[in-house]
Every structure is written in C-alpha cells, then in structure tokens.
Amino acid sequence: MRGHLRLLYLSLLLTRLADQILLFTVPLVVFKLSGSAAWSGIAFFCEALPRYAAFPVCGALCDRISTLKLIRWSQHWRSIVCIGGVLGFAIHGSLVWLIVISAGAGVLTTQGFMAREAMLPRIFHGDAYRKSLSYTQIADQLGTVLGPLAAAGLLGVSHWQYVVLAAAAIFIVSDIAFSLWAAGQQVPVIDGVQPGRNSLAPYRIAFRHVVAIPGLLELVALAAGVNLVVGVTLATSAAMFTGVYGQTASAYAWLQVAGSIATVVVLMFVAHVKLPARVSGAAAYLLIVLGGLLT
C-alpha cells in the first residue's frame, strides 16, 4: 500500500475510533450521573435517531457538495461539538449537554459516512475500488473494537469530560491525516444538481419504489422490527450491565468488544459460506428473536 493511501485509512480508523469512544461513553456516563436507565435510554435515542433520520438529507448534500469538503466539515464540527458540549457542561452542569454531544456527533457521523461512501467510487475503480472497500472495512472494524477499550481505559484514569476532549483531539488528528492525503489527489468534481430539478424529486422516487416494488414494503417493516429489538438492547445495555448487575465500565467495554468481534466473524462467514437467502435470513431472524428473549 502506498504511503498516501495509508493516510486515508489512518484517517478512517481514527474517525471510527473517536466515534466509538463517544458511542460508548455518553450512555454510560448519563447512567452514572443520573442513576436512571430511562435517561440512559433517552441519551441513546438522541444519539441514534439523528444518525438514521439524517441519511436522506446527508445523501442529498453528497449530490450537491464536494464529498471531500463534507468529510472535512463532519470532522471539524464533531470536534467543535465535543469541545462546546464540555464547555457547556462546565458552565451549566446539565445532562442536556451530553445529549447535545450525542445528537450533534450522530448527525455529523452520518454525513461523514455518506460522503465517504460517495467519494470512494469516484476515486478508485475496478480492483482498486474493491481493495479500498476491504481496507475501509478493516479500518471500521478496528475502530469499533478499539473504541470501547480506549474509552474504558480513559474513564478509568480521568473524568468523562477529558474522554470527550480526547475524542475531539482524535477527530482533529484524523482531519489532518485526511487533508494530507487529499492534497495529493485529483478527485473528480461532482456535476452538481441539474438546473430546474426539483430537490424533493429523489425522495418521491424513493417512496414510490418502496410502495410499488413487490415485497419491499414488507422488507422495510421487517428491518424496522429487527432494529427495534436491537435498539432496545443497545439502549438498555449500559444501565443493565453496570447498574443492575453492578459490573465495571471495563467489563462493559469488553462486552462491546465481544459484540464487535462477533460482527467480524459473521461478516467473514457470510462472505465465504454460500447459503440460500431463505436459510441465512431465517437463521438470522431466529437468532435475533432468541437474543431478545434472553435479554
């Protein structure tokens, strides 16, 4: 791998690492400060909902603005949100500031992810594109595995404010690495929106497809149900594990790492084992239901 590509994947790794530190830290800290599983669930809701609700808007921005700019903006503003949230908490110690950090960072993470997915096919082609996707997945999974461990280690030696500031610093370093990589690239400029095109047209087309294509609406409903089960588990896991069962933040970090490793194993299994869609789908849904019942 050439040196300038290392900068790109280092930037992706650091971005995912900082994002996972925030994802791990905020619900756990909210529960510790409030002692309420409800507040922890609300924090997770405010952290997760904007990430998904922002997808249509972020996708539209990727059609109109340079993806390089969008990635850099997402990194800049995530660091600003982290620093601003910590300053706000120092001035007025309210849990609202933690939720602001969660929501703001969530939306900006979605924007960075969408811009990255739109950028890669414009830069890499053929085998280079497939390799870039592979390295991107590796960077994402490494960040996902290391994030909870880093957050737990930092929480063990310092206050949560410094953990959030550390995440902000990682976003800044990630942006520097990305800028160094982008400086030597000839990135194709997007064509922009066609004159006279209705900005709401893509959304109408998308909803029309959901309704018109046979089976797609049912698939969307099924995915929503699955995400409901998974979301409830994620929203309450910090409160249950550290509160009800009295475990430490380090133990909770290892639980998160185990989940990340399981994700990697599943991805490797799906990539190398050929199973009929009905078999793999039925097995996945049964395991989700079993996990929900166990929880």
Residue 53 lies in a domain: yes
Share of the chain above pLDDT 70, in %: 92
Alpha-carbon gap, residue 1 to 236, rounded angstroms: 41
Residue 155 lies in a domain: yes
| Confidence band, pLDDT 50/70/90 cuts, at residue 86 | very high
- Which residues form the domain of 50? 3-187+200-294
pLDDT at 199: 66
Least confident of 27-36, 161-170, 283-292: 27-36
Residue 193 lies in a domain: no
DSSP 61-81: HHTTS-HHHHHHHHHHHHHHH
Per-residue pLDDT tens digits for 189-215: 554 444 445 667 777 887 888 888 988
Residue 131 lies in a domain: yes
pLDDT at 4: 66
Residue 136 lies in a domain: yes
Determine the average pLDDT of the residues in 226-241.
79
Cα atoms found within 13 Å of the Cα of residue 158, Cβ hemisphere only: 12
Question: Which CATH number belongs to the domain containing residue 11 in this structure?
Answer: 1.20.1250.20
Residues in CB range of 154: below 8 A, 6 or more apart: 21, 162, 163, 166
Residue 49 lies in a domain: yes
Domain count, the chain: 1
Q: Is the pLDDT of residue 187 over 60?
A: no
Per-residue pLDDT tens digits for 257-284: 888 788 778 777 776 777 787 888 888 8
Alpha-carbon gap, residue 91 to 77, rounded angstroms: 20
Q: Is the pLDDT of residue 227 over 60?
A: yes
Residue 194 lies in a domain: no
Q: Where are the alpha helices (DSSP H) in 158-274?
A: 160-183, 201-212, 216-239, 249-272
Per-residue pLDDT tens digits for 37-82: 777 777 777 777 788 888 888 888 888 888 888 998 999 999 999 9
Per-residue pLDDT tens digits for 120-161: 888 877 777 777 777 787 788 888 888 888 888 888 888 889
Residue 195 lies in a domain: no
pTM of this structure: 0.76
121: how many CB neighbours lie within 10 A of its CB? 12
| Confidence band, pLDDT 50/70/90 cuts, at residue 1 | very low
